Copies of this chain bind each other. A is one copy, B any other.
Amino acid sequence: MSQPIIFYDIPSTAAGCAWSPNTWRIRYALNFKDLAYKTTWVEYPDIESVCKEIGAEPSMIRKNGSPYYSLPVIHDPNTGAVVSDSARIADYLDATYPDTPVLTPAGTHTLQKAFQAAFDSATNPVIPYIMPAVARILRPRSEEYFVRTREASFKQKLTEMEPTGEAHETAWKELQAGYGKISGWMKEGDSFVMGNTISFADLLIAGELQWCMKGFGAESEKWKDMLTWHGGRWAKLIDDLKKYEGPVEEMPN
């Protein structure tokens, strides 16, 4: 490997710029594997055109048949490969750089996918909190795009989405219970999903935690509360993975 991988990510105004749970998985993965990379920051309204320009496939096809382009995408100049979708990128990195630490230990391919489905389902109550929070940290062009497309998708104003009062009490406890389900599946002394071995499942969790930390703010009540959950298990995870966050990226102009 002689040239850095180009890693496409979405900027924000938060410290360190990176905030997206999906791109964080790959940022962590690149650092975990100690692969050289540099970030190209892409604002939301430019994602589709940038993907088409570099020949990145859509990450999924919508039910109406139209392609959906999203980040992360990587372009690896060492092989010429352009890969979309965090799970496919993880598989690509394991296959292309077999001498680096693996994201998907042998035999766990299907189990890692199942973990993602179970984790997404368990932590779904974060949505009405995180959507308006993300809108607040995006830069203007992305913010306008994000608010417009998410309001169309959720059929609700983002500013009216966050539960308040009693609804907040209930919904926040549901989110905690969702993380509690994951914690309950883990053995007591285990730092990571696979025990003492880091795998892609941990990067999913940590990416989601980054989303909350950046969206709510590192000094917010919400984030500070999350750090106390389940014996500090999530605080420890973020801390254990700190060395794989990489350098703070310079803000794009």
**Which A residues are closer than 8 A to B by beta carbons?**
105-115, 117-119, 121-122, 181-182, 185-187, 190, 193-195, 197, 201
Contacts and interface: CB of A to CB of B under 8 A. Distances in A.
Taking chain A's interface residues, is the majority helix, strand, or loop, or is none over half, making it mixed? Answer: helix
Contacts of A187: 109-110
B115 A111 contact: yes
A121 B117 contact: yes
Nearest to A195: B107
Contacts of A113: 185
Interface centre among A106, A118, A193 (most CB of B within 10 A): A118
Nearest to A186: B110
A114 B107 CA distance: 15
Contacts of A108: 107-108, 111, 194
Contacts of A110: 115, 182, 185-187, 190, 193-194, 201
Contacts of A197: 107
23 contacts: A106-B195, A107-B108, A107-B197, A108-B194, A109-B185, A109-B187, A109-B195, A110-B115, A110-B182, A110-B185, A110-B190, A110-B193, A110-B194, A111-B111, A111-B114, A114-B115, A114-B118, A114-B119, A114-B185, A114-B201, A115-B115, A117-B118, A118-B121
A126 B247 CA distance: 49
A228 B30 CA distance: 41
B112 A111 contact: yes
Nearest to A105: B107
